Structure 1
Amino acid sequence: MIKIAYHPIYAHPLPAGHRFPMVKYELIPAQLLHEGTIEAQHLFAPEPTTEENITTTHDAAYWQQLKALTLPYKEQRRIGFPLDAQLVEREIRIAQGTIDGAIYAQKNGVAFNVAGGTHHAGSNWGEGFCLLNDQAIAANYLLNHQLAKRILIVDLDVHQGNGTAEIFTNEDRVFTFSMHGEKNFPFRKEQSDLDIPLADDTQDEEFLSILNDKLPTIIKKHQPNFIFYLSGVDVLESDKLGKLSLSKQACKQRDQIVFENCLKNNIPLQVSMGGGYSEDIKIIVDAHCNTFRTAFHLFS
Protein backbone atom coordinates (compact mmCIF):
# COMPACT_ATOMS: atom_id res chain seq x y z
CA MET A 1 0.00 0.00 0.00
CA ILE A 2 1.22 3.50 -0.84
CA LYS A 3 1.80 5.48 2.35
CA ILE A 4 1.54 9.25 2.85
CA ALA A 5 2.98 11.11 5.83
CA TYR A 6 0.63 13.75 7.21
CA HIS A 7 0.26 15.36 10.63
CA PRO A 8 -2.02 18.28 11.64
CA ILE A 9 1.04 20.18 12.84
CA TYR A 10 2.09 20.53 9.19
CA ALA A 11 -0.44 23.37 8.94
CA HIS A 12 0.90 25.17 12.05
CA PRO A 13 -0.07 28.84 11.57
CA LEU A 14 2.56 31.47 10.88
CA PRO A 15 2.33 35.16 11.87
CA ALA A 16 -0.58 37.06 10.31
CA GLY A 17 0.10 38.21 6.77
CA HIS A 18 2.91 35.71 6.12
CA ARG A 19 2.91 34.69 2.46
CA PHE A 20 3.75 31.01 2.93
CA PRO A 21 0.47 29.09 2.33
CA MET A 22 0.48 26.64 5.26
CA VAL A 23 -3.21 25.86 4.73
CA LYS A 24 -2.31 23.78 1.68
CA TYR A 25 -1.05 21.04 3.98
CA GLU A 26 -4.58 20.53 5.29
CA LEU A 27 -6.25 20.91 1.91
CA ILE A 28 -4.12 18.41 -0.04
CA PRO A 29 -5.08 15.28 1.96
CA ALA A 30 -8.64 16.57 2.36
CA GLN A 31 -9.03 16.88 -1.41
CA LEU A 32 -7.47 13.47 -2.09
CA LEU A 33 -9.81 11.85 0.44
CA HIS A 34 -12.85 13.73 -0.90
CA GLU A 35 -12.30 12.65 -4.50
CA GLY A 36 -11.47 9.06 -3.57
CA THR A 37 -7.85 9.04 -4.77
CA ILE A 38 -6.82 7.90 -1.29
CA GLU A 39 -8.49 6.43 1.78
CA ALA A 40 -7.71 7.16 5.42
CA GLN A 41 -5.55 4.03 5.63
CA HIS A 42 -3.07 5.56 3.19
CA LEU A 43 -2.22 8.32 5.70
CA PHE A 44 0.09 7.95 8.67
CA ALA A 45 1.11 10.49 11.32
CA PRO A 46 4.89 10.52 11.84
CA GLU A 47 6.47 10.76 15.28
CA PRO A 48 9.29 13.24 15.98
CA THR A 49 12.58 11.98 14.63
CA THR A 50 15.55 11.34 16.92
CA GLU A 51 18.41 13.67 17.67
CA GLU A 52 20.76 11.04 16.27
CA ASN A 53 18.99 11.20 12.92
CA ILE A 54 19.16 15.00 12.92
CA THR A 55 22.81 15.32 13.94
CA THR A 56 23.94 12.76 11.38
CA THR A 57 23.07 15.43 8.81
CA HIS A 58 23.05 18.75 10.70
CA ASP A 59 25.65 20.33 12.94
CA ALA A 60 24.94 19.50 16.59
CA ALA A 61 25.39 23.11 17.74
CA TYR A 62 22.90 24.34 15.15
CA TRP A 63 20.38 21.70 16.24
CA GLN A 64 20.78 22.65 19.91
CA GLN A 65 20.02 26.29 19.06
CA LEU A 66 16.89 25.22 17.21
CA LYS A 67 15.84 22.94 20.03
CA ALA A 68 16.38 25.61 22.70
CA LEU A 69 14.89 28.38 20.49
CA THR A 70 18.12 30.34 20.88
CA LEU A 71 19.02 30.71 17.22
CA PRO A 72 20.28 34.29 16.72
CA TYR A 73 17.80 36.76 15.29
CA LYS A 74 19.87 37.17 12.11
CA GLU A 75 19.64 33.42 11.49
CA GLN A 76 15.90 33.43 12.15
CA ARG A 77 15.50 36.20 9.57
CA ARG A 78 17.38 34.02 7.09
CA ILE A 79 14.82 31.28 7.70
CA GLY A 80 11.98 33.72 7.12
CA PHE A 81 9.91 33.48 10.29
CA PRO A 82 10.46 33.61 14.06
CA LEU A 83 11.05 30.27 15.77
CA ASP A 84 8.63 28.65 18.15
CA ALA A 85 8.45 25.18 19.66
CA GLN A 86 5.67 23.99 17.35
CA LEU A 87 7.63 24.96 14.24
CA VAL A 88 10.61 22.94 15.46
CA GLU A 89 8.36 19.99 16.27
CA ARG A 90 6.80 20.35 12.83
CA GLU A 91 10.21 20.02 11.19
CA ILE A 92 11.27 16.97 13.17
CA ARG A 93 7.97 15.22 12.41
CA ILE A 94 8.39 16.06 8.72
CA ALA A 95 11.88 14.56 8.82
CA GLN A 96 10.60 11.33 10.37
CA GLY A 97 7.75 11.23 7.87
CA THR A 98 10.29 11.26 5.05
CA ILE A 99 12.40 8.55 6.73
CA ASP A 100 9.31 6.38 7.26
CA GLY A 101 8.20 7.08 3.71
CA ALA A 102 11.56 5.96 2.33
CA ILE A 103 11.22 2.67 4.22
CA TYR A 104 7.64 2.19 3.02
CA ALA A 105 8.70 2.95 -0.55
CA GLN A 106 11.16 0.07 -0.56
CA LYS A 107 8.18 -2.26 -0.14
CA ASN A 108 5.60 -0.42 -2.24
CA GLY A 109 7.58 1.47 -4.87
CA VAL A 110 6.62 4.99 -3.81
CA ALA A 111 5.68 6.94 -0.69
CA PHE A 112 4.85 10.57 0.00
CA ASN A 113 5.20 13.32 2.56
CA VAL A 114 2.44 15.95 2.28
CA ALA A 115 5.03 18.48 3.50
CA GLY A 116 8.83 18.35 3.30
CA GLY A 117 11.19 19.25 0.53
CA THR A 118 13.03 21.54 2.95
CA HIS A 119 16.02 21.76 0.64
CA HIS A 120 17.37 25.17 1.67
CA ALA A 121 18.47 23.91 5.11
CA GLY A 122 22.20 23.24 5.07
CA SER A 123 24.36 21.39 7.53
CA ASN A 124 24.52 24.36 9.92
CA TRP A 125 21.90 26.83 8.73
CA GLY A 126 18.22 27.27 8.00
CA GLU A 127 16.94 29.35 5.11
CA GLY A 128 13.89 29.99 2.97
CA PHE A 129 11.29 28.55 5.38
CA CYS A 130 13.47 25.45 5.96
CA LEU A 131 14.89 24.48 9.36
CA LEU A 132 15.96 20.85 8.79
CA ASN A 133 16.52 19.11 5.48
CA ASP A 134 14.07 16.18 5.48
CA GLN A 135 15.29 14.38 2.37
CA ALA A 136 18.94 14.77 3.32
CA ILE A 137 18.20 13.35 6.79
CA ALA A 138 16.33 10.42 5.23
CA ALA A 139 19.06 9.79 2.66
CA ASN A 140 21.68 9.57 5.39
CA TYR A 141 19.39 7.28 7.37
CA LEU A 142 19.16 4.86 4.44
CA LEU A 143 22.91 4.92 3.90
CA ASN A 144 23.77 4.49 7.56
CA HIS A 145 21.33 1.60 8.02
CA GLN A 146 22.51 -0.15 4.84
CA LEU A 147 19.08 0.29 3.26
CA ALA A 148 20.55 1.90 0.13
CA LYS A 149 23.99 2.03 -1.42
CA ARG A 150 23.58 4.82 -3.95
CA ILE A 151 20.96 7.57 -3.85
CA LEU A 152 19.73 10.15 -6.36
CA ILE A 153 17.96 13.32 -5.21
CA VAL A 154 15.86 14.81 -8.01
CA ASP A 155 14.97 18.40 -7.12
CA LEU A 156 12.48 19.97 -9.53
CA ASP A 157 11.29 22.77 -7.27
CA VAL A 158 11.81 26.17 -8.91
CA HIS A 159 14.50 27.05 -6.35
CA GLN A 160 17.91 25.40 -6.25
CA GLY A 161 18.36 22.80 -3.52
CA ASN A 162 21.32 24.66 -2.09
CA GLY A 163 21.19 23.07 1.36
CA THR A 164 21.01 19.57 -0.11
CA ALA A 165 23.93 20.31 -2.42
CA GLU A 166 26.06 21.59 0.48
CA ILE A 167 25.27 18.65 2.76
CA PHE A 168 26.32 16.08 0.15
CA THR A 169 29.29 17.94 -1.35
CA ASN A 170 31.71 15.22 -0.28
CA GLU A 171 29.35 12.23 -0.42
CA ASP A 172 29.86 10.24 -3.61
CA ARG A 173 27.02 7.86 -2.81
CA VAL A 174 24.46 10.68 -3.17
CA PHE A 175 23.99 12.41 -6.54
CA THR A 176 22.19 15.76 -6.31
CA PHE A 177 20.31 16.96 -9.42
CA SER A 178 18.57 20.34 -9.44
CA MET A 179 16.62 22.05 -12.24
CA HIS A 180 15.77 25.57 -11.08
CA GLY A 181 15.29 29.20 -12.00
CA GLU A 182 18.71 30.69 -12.66
CA LYS A 183 17.78 34.14 -11.35
CA ASN A 184 15.61 32.98 -8.48
CA PHE A 185 16.27 32.43 -4.78
CA PRO A 186 18.71 31.45 -3.37
CA PHE A 187 20.85 34.13 -4.91
CA ARG A 188 24.02 32.45 -3.64
CA LYS A 189 23.87 28.97 -5.14
CA GLU A 190 25.74 25.89 -3.96
CA GLN A 191 27.08 23.33 -6.44
CA SER A 192 24.96 20.25 -7.00
CA ASP A 193 26.38 17.25 -8.84
CA LEU A 194 24.28 18.49 -11.74
CA ASP A 195 22.64 21.91 -11.85
CA ILE A 196 20.39 22.97 -14.73
CA PRO A 197 19.76 26.73 -14.39
CA LEU A 198 16.68 27.82 -16.33
CA ALA A 199 15.98 31.25 -17.79
CA ASP A 200 12.97 33.25 -16.66
CA ASP A 201 9.78 32.25 -18.50
CA THR A 202 11.05 28.80 -19.47
CA GLN A 203 8.03 26.98 -20.89
CA ASP A 204 6.68 23.44 -21.09
CA GLU A 205 8.50 22.01 -24.08
CA GLU A 206 11.98 23.14 -23.05
CA PHE A 207 11.59 22.04 -19.43
CA LEU A 208 10.23 18.60 -20.30
CA SER A 209 12.81 18.08 -23.04
CA ILE A 210 15.69 18.77 -20.65
CA LEU A 211 14.24 16.48 -18.00
CA ASN A 212 13.58 13.70 -20.52
CA ASP A 213 17.20 13.95 -21.66
CA LYS A 214 19.01 14.34 -18.35
CA LEU A 215 17.18 12.05 -15.92
CA PRO A 216 17.70 8.73 -17.76
CA THR A 217 21.36 9.64 -18.30
CA ILE A 218 21.90 10.34 -14.61
CA ILE A 219 20.20 7.11 -13.60
CA LYS A 220 22.30 5.12 -16.05
CA LYS A 221 25.54 6.75 -14.88
CA HIS A 222 24.96 6.88 -11.11
CA GLN A 223 23.01 3.60 -10.79
CA PRO A 224 20.96 4.64 -7.72
CA ASN A 225 18.94 2.08 -5.83
CA PHE A 226 16.81 4.78 -4.19
CA ILE A 227 15.49 8.15 -5.39
CA PHE A 228 14.17 11.14 -3.45
CA TYR A 229 11.99 13.48 -5.51
CA LEU A 230 11.16 17.07 -4.59
CA SER A 231 8.04 17.94 -6.60
CA GLY A 232 7.50 21.66 -5.95
CA VAL A 233 4.71 23.28 -7.97
CA ASP A 234 6.28 26.75 -7.89
CA VAL A 235 7.36 26.06 -11.49
CA LEU A 236 3.83 27.02 -12.60
CA GLU A 237 3.25 30.12 -14.70
CA SER A 238 0.72 31.25 -12.08
CA ASP A 239 3.29 31.17 -9.26
CA LYS A 240 3.98 34.61 -7.83
CA LEU A 241 7.57 33.74 -6.82
CA GLY A 242 8.60 31.20 -9.45
CA LYS A 243 9.44 33.14 -12.66
CA LEU A 244 9.04 30.03 -14.86
CA SER A 245 6.04 29.47 -17.14
CA LEU A 246 4.96 25.84 -16.92
CA SER A 247 1.36 24.83 -17.40
CA LYS A 248 -0.38 22.59 -14.89
CA GLN A 249 -0.41 19.82 -17.50
CA ALA A 250 3.36 20.10 -17.99
CA CYS A 251 3.85 19.98 -14.22
CA LYS A 252 1.89 16.72 -14.22
CA GLN A 253 3.94 15.39 -17.15
CA ARG A 254 7.11 16.26 -15.20
CA ASP A 255 5.93 14.02 -12.35
CA GLN A 256 5.06 11.26 -14.79
CA ILE A 257 8.56 11.36 -16.31
CA VAL A 258 10.13 10.91 -12.87
CA PHE A 259 7.76 8.11 -11.87
CA GLU A 260 8.10 6.24 -15.16
CA ASN A 261 11.90 6.36 -14.98
CA CYS A 262 11.73 4.92 -11.48
CA LEU A 263 9.35 2.16 -12.57
CA LYS A 264 11.39 1.35 -15.69
CA ASN A 265 14.53 0.93 -13.59
CA ASN A 266 12.81 -0.67 -10.58
CA ILE A 267 13.97 2.11 -8.24
CA PRO A 268 11.80 2.99 -5.21
CA LEU A 269 11.25 6.66 -4.48
CA GLN A 270 10.05 8.99 -1.76
CA VAL A 271 8.29 12.23 -2.76
CA SER A 272 8.19 15.47 -0.73
CA MET A 273 5.94 18.28 -1.90
CA GLY A 274 8.12 21.39 -1.82
CA GLY A 275 6.93 24.88 -2.70
CA GLY A 276 3.93 26.46 -4.40
CA TYR A 277 2.92 30.12 -4.20
CA SER A 278 0.20 30.77 -6.76
CA GLU A 279 -2.28 33.47 -5.71
CA ASP A 280 -5.18 31.01 -6.00
CA ILE A 281 -4.82 28.28 -3.36
CA LYS A 282 -6.98 26.00 -5.52
CA ILE A 283 -4.27 25.98 -8.21
CA ILE A 284 -1.61 25.04 -5.66
CA VAL A 285 -3.66 22.23 -4.17
CA ASP A 286 -4.76 20.80 -7.51
CA ALA A 287 -1.20 20.82 -8.89
CA HIS A 288 0.12 19.05 -5.78
CA CYS A 289 -2.77 16.57 -5.92
CA ASN A 290 -1.85 15.78 -9.52
CA THR A 291 1.45 14.39 -8.24
CA PHE A 292 -0.43 11.95 -6.00
CA ARG A 293 -2.99 11.13 -8.70
CA THR A 294 -0.26 10.33 -11.22
CA ALA A 295 1.60 8.09 -8.81
CA PHE A 296 -1.51 6.21 -7.70
CA HIS A 297 -2.37 5.60 -11.35
CA LEU A 298 1.09 4.27 -12.19
CA PHE A 299 1.98 2.36 -9.02
CA SER A 300 -1.36 0.90 -7.97
Structure 2
Amino acid sequence: MEKYTLLPEQLLYEGTITEAAFFTAAPLSEEAILRTHTAGYWHKLKTNTLTRKEARAIGFPMRPELIARGRVIAQGTLDCARFAMSGDGVALNIAGGTHHSFADRGEGFCVFNDIAIAANELLHTGEISRALVVDLDVHQGNGTASIFAGEPRVFTLSFHGAKNYPNRKPPSDLDVGFPDGTGDDVYLRELYEVLPGVMDRVKPDLVFYLSGVDVLASDKLGRLSLSLDGCKERDRFVFQMCKDRNLPVAVSMGGGYSERLATIIEAHANTFRMAEQMRD
Protein backbone atom coordinates (compact mmCIF):
# COMPACT_ATOMS: atom_id res chain seq x y z
CA MET A 1 0.00 0.00 0.00
CA GLU A 2 1.11 3.52 -0.79
CA LYS A 3 0.92 4.61 2.83
CA TYR A 4 3.96 2.49 3.73
CA THR A 5 6.10 4.68 1.45
CA LEU A 6 4.43 8.03 2.14
CA LEU A 7 4.34 7.76 5.94
CA PRO A 8 8.11 7.67 6.48
CA GLU A 9 8.53 10.43 3.88
CA GLN A 10 6.11 12.63 5.81
CA LEU A 11 7.79 11.93 9.16
CA LEU A 12 11.20 12.78 7.72
CA TYR A 13 9.93 15.90 5.95
CA GLU A 14 8.40 17.36 9.10
CA GLY A 15 11.36 16.38 11.28
CA THR A 16 9.45 14.08 13.63
CA ILE A 17 12.16 11.47 13.07
CA THR A 18 15.52 11.31 11.31
CA GLU A 19 17.02 8.77 8.93
CA ALA A 20 19.04 7.37 11.82
CA ALA A 21 15.84 6.28 13.55
CA PHE A 22 14.96 3.75 10.84
CA PHE A 23 16.00 0.12 10.77
CA THR A 24 15.40 -2.66 8.27
CA ALA A 25 14.40 -6.08 9.55
CA ALA A 26 15.74 -9.39 8.27
CA PRO A 27 13.29 -12.20 7.40
CA LEU A 28 11.83 -13.93 10.45
CA SER A 29 13.37 -17.31 11.20
CA GLU A 30 11.48 -20.52 10.57
CA GLU A 31 11.92 -21.42 14.25
CA ALA A 32 10.14 -18.25 15.34
CA ILE A 33 7.33 -18.83 12.87
CA LEU A 34 6.75 -22.32 14.25
CA ARG A 35 6.47 -21.07 17.84
CA THR A 36 3.19 -19.46 16.80
CA HIS A 37 2.01 -21.03 13.54
CA THR A 38 1.45 -24.71 12.86
CA ALA A 39 3.89 -26.73 10.78
CA GLY A 40 1.10 -27.57 8.32
CA TYR A 41 0.20 -23.93 7.70
CA TRP A 42 3.84 -22.88 7.34
CA HIS A 43 4.48 -25.72 4.86
CA LYS A 44 1.59 -24.54 2.69
CA LEU A 45 2.87 -20.96 2.79
CA LYS A 46 6.45 -21.74 1.86
CA THR A 47 5.45 -24.18 -0.89
CA ASN A 48 2.62 -21.91 -2.14
CA THR A 49 0.09 -24.75 -1.79
CA LEU A 50 -2.77 -23.08 0.05
CA THR A 51 -6.12 -24.13 -1.33
CA ARG A 52 -8.20 -21.58 -3.21
CA LYS A 53 -10.52 -21.38 -0.22
CA GLU A 54 -7.61 -20.76 2.17
CA ALA A 55 -6.12 -18.09 -0.09
CA ARG A 56 -9.53 -16.46 -0.56
CA ALA A 57 -9.92 -16.16 3.22
CA ILE A 58 -6.66 -14.20 3.33
CA GLY A 59 -7.77 -11.98 0.47
CA PHE A 60 -4.50 -11.69 -1.47
CA PRO A 61 -3.29 -13.62 -4.50
CA MET A 62 -0.65 -15.74 -2.77
CA ARG A 63 2.86 -15.26 -4.10
CA PRO A 64 6.33 -16.02 -2.66
CA GLU A 65 6.98 -12.26 -2.48
CA LEU A 66 4.00 -11.83 -0.16
CA ILE A 67 5.27 -14.52 2.19
CA ALA A 68 8.74 -12.95 2.20
CA ARG A 69 7.23 -9.55 2.97
CA GLY A 70 5.23 -11.02 5.86
CA ARG A 71 8.34 -12.54 7.38
CA VAL A 72 10.11 -9.17 7.33
CA ILE A 73 7.12 -7.40 8.87
CA ALA A 74 6.87 -9.96 11.68
CA GLN A 75 10.59 -9.71 12.40
CA GLY A 76 10.16 -5.94 12.45
CA THR A 77 7.66 -6.19 15.29
CA LEU A 78 9.98 -8.51 17.20
CA ASP A 79 12.86 -6.08 16.65
CA CYS A 80 10.65 -3.20 17.83
CA ALA A 81 9.91 -5.06 21.05
CA ARG A 82 13.61 -5.57 21.70
CA PHE A 83 14.45 -1.95 20.88
CA ALA A 84 11.73 -0.77 23.24
CA MET A 85 12.99 -2.99 26.05
CA SER A 86 16.64 -2.09 25.49
CA GLY A 87 16.09 1.46 26.65
CA ASP A 88 14.27 3.22 23.82
CA GLY A 89 10.97 2.80 25.66
CA VAL A 90 8.97 2.78 22.43
CA ALA A 91 9.57 1.49 18.90
CA LEU A 92 7.19 1.44 15.96
CA ASN A 93 6.72 -0.81 12.93
CA ILE A 94 5.61 1.10 9.82
CA ALA A 95 3.49 -1.98 9.02
CA GLY A 96 2.24 -4.92 11.10
CA GLY A 97 -0.87 -5.42 13.16
CA THR A 98 -1.86 -8.60 11.32
CA HIS A 99 -4.19 -9.74 14.07
CA HIS A 100 -6.59 -11.82 11.94
CA SER A 101 -4.00 -14.54 11.38
CA PHE A 102 -4.62 -17.71 13.40
CA ALA A 103 -2.07 -20.36 14.30
CA ASP A 104 -3.23 -22.60 11.46
CA ARG A 105 -4.58 -20.18 8.86
CA GLY A 106 -4.60 -16.66 7.55
CA GLU A 107 -7.60 -14.41 7.27
CA GLY A 108 -8.58 -10.81 6.57
CA PHE A 109 -5.40 -9.79 4.67
CA CYS A 110 -3.23 -11.26 7.45
CA VAL A 111 -0.74 -14.05 6.75
CA PHE A 112 1.51 -14.13 9.84
CA ASN A 113 0.38 -12.78 13.23
CA ASP A 114 3.27 -10.40 13.94
CA ILE A 115 2.35 -9.49 17.52
CA ALA A 116 1.69 -13.10 18.52
CA ILE A 117 4.99 -14.18 16.95
CA ALA A 118 6.93 -11.51 18.82
CA ALA A 119 5.25 -12.24 22.15
CA ASN A 120 5.78 -16.00 21.85
CA GLU A 121 9.42 -15.59 20.87
CA LEU A 122 10.17 -13.28 23.80
CA LEU A 123 8.40 -15.64 26.19
CA HIS A 124 10.38 -18.57 24.77
CA THR A 125 13.72 -16.83 25.22
CA GLY A 126 12.84 -15.61 28.70
CA GLU A 127 13.19 -11.95 27.76
CA ILE A 128 9.71 -11.34 29.15
CA SER A 129 7.45 -13.25 31.51
CA ARG A 130 4.19 -11.41 30.79
CA ALA A 131 2.85 -9.31 27.91
CA LEU A 132 -0.18 -7.11 27.33
CA VAL A 133 -1.70 -6.70 23.88
CA VAL A 134 -3.64 -3.43 23.53
CA ASP A 135 -5.50 -3.83 20.25
CA LEU A 136 -7.31 -0.62 19.28
CA ASP A 137 -7.84 -1.42 15.61
CA VAL A 138 -11.53 -1.12 14.73
CA HIS A 139 -11.71 -4.86 13.99
CA GLN A 140 -11.48 -7.38 16.80
CA GLY A 141 -8.20 -9.28 16.90
CA ASN A 142 -9.74 -12.71 16.43
CA GLY A 143 -6.50 -14.46 15.49
CA THR A 144 -4.60 -13.02 18.43
CA ALA A 145 -7.43 -13.89 20.82
CA SER A 146 -7.47 -17.47 19.55
CA ILE A 147 -3.70 -17.93 19.69
CA PHE A 148 -3.50 -16.76 23.30
CA ALA A 149 -6.66 -18.38 24.61
CA GLY A 150 -5.67 -20.18 27.78
CA GLU A 151 -2.20 -18.55 27.82
CA PRO A 152 -1.99 -16.74 31.18
CA ARG A 153 1.25 -14.95 30.29
CA VAL A 154 -0.38 -12.85 27.56
CA PHE A 155 -3.39 -10.65 28.26
CA THR A 156 -5.36 -9.55 25.20
CA LEU A 157 -7.44 -6.36 25.29
CA SER A 158 -9.48 -5.39 22.23
CA PHE A 159 -11.51 -2.23 21.57
CA HIS A 160 -13.50 -2.62 18.35
CA GLY A 161 -16.75 -2.13 16.49
CA ALA A 162 -19.22 -4.62 17.97
CA LYS A 163 -20.95 -5.29 14.63
CA ASN A 164 -17.88 -5.06 12.42
CA TYR A 165 -15.67 -7.83 11.02
CA PRO A 166 -15.12 -10.56 12.06
CA ASN A 167 -18.62 -11.94 12.50
CA ARG A 168 -17.35 -14.61 14.89
CA LYS A 169 -15.15 -13.11 17.56
CA PRO A 170 -13.21 -15.56 19.75
CA PRO A 171 -13.08 -13.94 23.18
CA SER A 172 -10.08 -11.84 24.11
CA ASP A 173 -9.25 -11.63 27.80
CA LEU A 174 -11.22 -8.38 27.68
CA ASP A 175 -13.32 -7.22 24.73
CA VAL A 176 -14.93 -3.79 24.55
CA GLY A 177 -17.33 -3.56 21.61
CA PHE A 178 -18.79 -0.23 20.48
CA PRO A 179 -21.97 0.37 18.49
CA ASP A 180 -21.74 1.85 15.01
CA GLY A 181 -21.22 5.59 15.04
CA THR A 182 -19.43 5.78 18.40
CA GLY A 183 -17.48 9.04 18.62
CA ASP A 184 -14.62 10.55 20.59
CA ASP A 185 -16.35 11.14 23.91
CA VAL A 186 -17.72 7.64 24.47
CA TYR A 187 -14.65 5.87 23.08
CA LEU A 188 -12.12 7.90 25.03
CA ARG A 189 -14.11 7.75 28.26
CA GLU A 190 -14.09 3.95 28.05
CA LEU A 191 -10.36 3.93 27.29
CA TYR A 192 -9.63 6.21 30.24
CA GLU A 193 -11.61 3.92 32.53
CA VAL A 194 -10.41 0.53 31.28
CA LEU A 195 -6.75 0.76 30.28
CA PRO A 196 -5.10 1.93 33.53
CA GLY A 197 -6.81 -0.80 35.54
CA VAL A 198 -5.83 -3.49 33.05
CA MET A 199 -2.20 -2.37 33.09
CA ASP A 200 -2.11 -2.32 36.87
CA ARG A 201 -3.69 -5.80 37.17
CA VAL A 202 -1.66 -7.48 34.45
CA LYS A 203 1.71 -5.90 35.36
CA PRO A 204 3.26 -6.75 31.97
CA ASP A 205 6.93 -6.55 31.11
CA LEU A 206 6.02 -5.29 27.66
CA VAL A 207 3.02 -3.76 25.89
CA PHE A 208 2.16 -4.47 22.27
CA TYR A 209 0.01 -1.65 20.89
CA LEU A 210 -1.97 -2.12 17.69
CA SER A 211 -2.80 1.45 16.69
CA GLY A 212 -5.14 1.03 13.72
CA VAL A 213 -6.59 4.29 12.43
CA ASP A 214 -9.67 2.64 10.93
CA VAL A 215 -11.59 4.01 13.93
CA LEU A 216 -11.92 7.34 12.07
CA ALA A 217 -15.32 8.59 10.94
CA SER A 218 -13.86 8.90 7.43
CA ASP A 219 -12.85 5.23 7.25
CA LYS A 220 -14.59 3.18 4.56
CA LEU A 221 -14.62 0.00 6.67
CA GLY A 222 -14.60 1.23 10.26
CA ARG A 223 -18.19 2.29 11.11
CA LEU A 224 -17.01 4.21 14.19
CA SER A 225 -16.83 8.02 14.22
CA LEU A 226 -13.63 9.19 15.87
CA SER A 227 -12.08 12.45 14.71
CA LEU A 228 -8.40 12.87 13.89
CA ASP A 229 -7.99 14.67 17.22
CA GLY A 230 -9.79 11.88 19.05
CA CYS A 231 -7.57 9.24 17.46
CA LYS A 232 -4.50 11.31 18.35
CA GLU A 233 -5.67 11.58 21.96
CA ARG A 234 -6.17 7.81 22.03
CA ASP A 235 -2.52 7.34 21.07
CA ARG A 236 -1.32 9.97 23.52
CA PHE A 237 -3.16 8.31 26.38
CA VAL A 238 -1.83 4.82 25.62
CA PHE A 239 1.74 6.12 25.49
CA GLN A 240 1.28 8.18 28.64
CA MET A 241 -0.04 5.18 30.58
CA CYS A 242 3.01 3.17 29.45
CA LYS A 243 5.40 5.97 30.34
CA ASP A 244 3.84 6.46 33.77
CA ARG A 245 4.44 2.77 34.53
CA ASN A 246 7.85 2.57 32.86
CA LEU A 247 6.49 -0.02 30.41
CA PRO A 248 8.22 -0.47 27.04
CA VAL A 249 5.78 -0.50 24.13
CA ALA A 250 6.10 -1.98 20.64
CA VAL A 251 3.67 -0.51 18.13
CA SER A 252 2.19 -2.06 14.98
CA MET A 253 0.26 0.26 12.65
CA GLY A 254 -2.79 -1.82 11.77
CA GLY A 255 -5.57 -0.71 9.44
CA GLY A 256 -6.63 2.59 7.89
CA TYR A 257 -8.97 2.89 4.92
CA SER A 258 -10.17 6.49 4.68
CA GLU A 259 -11.07 7.80 1.22
CA ARG A 260 -8.32 10.44 1.32
CA LEU A 261 -4.83 9.00 1.58
CA ALA A 262 -3.74 12.23 3.27
CA THR A 263 -6.11 11.48 6.16
CA ILE A 264 -4.60 8.02 6.64
CA ILE A 265 -1.05 9.42 6.61
CA GLU A 266 -1.93 12.17 9.07
CA ALA A 267 -3.56 9.72 11.49
CA HIS A 268 -0.64 7.28 11.38
CA ALA A 269 1.85 10.16 11.64
CA ASN A 270 0.08 11.28 14.81
CA THR A 271 0.95 7.92 16.37
CA PHE A 272 4.62 8.55 15.69
CA ARG A 273 4.35 12.13 16.95
CA MET A 274 2.78 10.98 20.20
CA ALA A 275 5.42 8.28 20.57
CA GLU A 276 8.16 10.89 20.24
CA GLN A 277 6.52 12.86 23.05
CA MET A 278 6.78 9.72 25.20
CA ARG A 279 10.56 9.83 24.73
CA ASP A 280 10.80 13.37 26.08
Q: TM-score, normalised by structure 2?
A: 0.99
Deviation at 1:109, TM superposition (A): 0.3
Residue 220 of structure 2 is aligned to residue 240 of structure 1: yes
- Residue of structure 2 equivalent to 1:148: 128
Alignment of 1:202-221 (within 5 A): 202-221=182-201
Deviation readout 1:12-66 (Å, 9 max, x if unpaired)? xxxxxxxxxx110001101101111111110111000101000100111101101
Moved >2 Å (runs of 4+): none
Q: Which amino acid aligns with 1:36?
A: G
- 1:63 to 2:42 alignment: yes
Partner residue of 1:74?
53
Instruction: Name the aligned partner's letter for residue 284 of structure 1.
Output: I
Partner in structure 2 of residue 10 of structure 1: none
**Alignment map for 1:3-14 (pairs within 5 Å):** none
Distance in 2 (CA, whole Å) between partners of 1:298 and 1:148 is 22
Cα distance in 1, alignment partners of residues 207 and 142 from structure 2: 18
* C-alpha distance in 2 between matches for 1:63 and 1:232: 26
Q: Which residue of 2 aligns with 1:98?
A: 77
The CA distance in 2 between the partners of 1:170 and 1:93, in whole Å, is 28
Question: Which of 222, 225, 230 is equivalent to 1:250?
Answer: 230
- Secondary structure of the 2:157 match is strand
Shift of 1:297: 1.8
Q: Say yes or no: does 1:270 pair with 2:247.
A: no
What corresponds to 1:43 in structure 2?
22
What 5-or-longer segments of structure 2 have no aligned partner?
none
The 1-side partners of 2:230 and 2:186 are apart by 10
Q: Say yes or no: does 1:176 pair with 2:175.
A: no
Task: Report the counterpart of residue 129 of structure 1 in structure 2.
Answer: 109
- The CA distance in 2 between the partners of 1:123 and 1:42, in whole Å, is 32
- The aligned residue for residue 281 of structure 1 is 261
2:132 aligned counterpart, secondary structure: strand
Task: Write the distance in 2 (CA, Å) between the matches of 1:297 and 1:221.
Answer: 26
What residue identity is the alignment partner of 1:217? Answer: G
Question: What SS is found at the alignment partner of 1:197?
Answer: strand
* Superposition CA RMSD, Å: 0.6
Residue type of the alignment partner of 1:262? C
The count of corresponding residues between Structure 1 and Structure 2 is 279
**Aligned-residue offset at 1:81:** 1.2
Paired residue for 1:138, among 88, 111, 118? Answer: 118
Residues of 2 paired with 1:251 and 1:81: CA distance? Answer: 28
Q: Once the 2 structures are TM-superposed, how far is the Cα of residue 299 of structure 1 from its aligned partner? A: 1.0
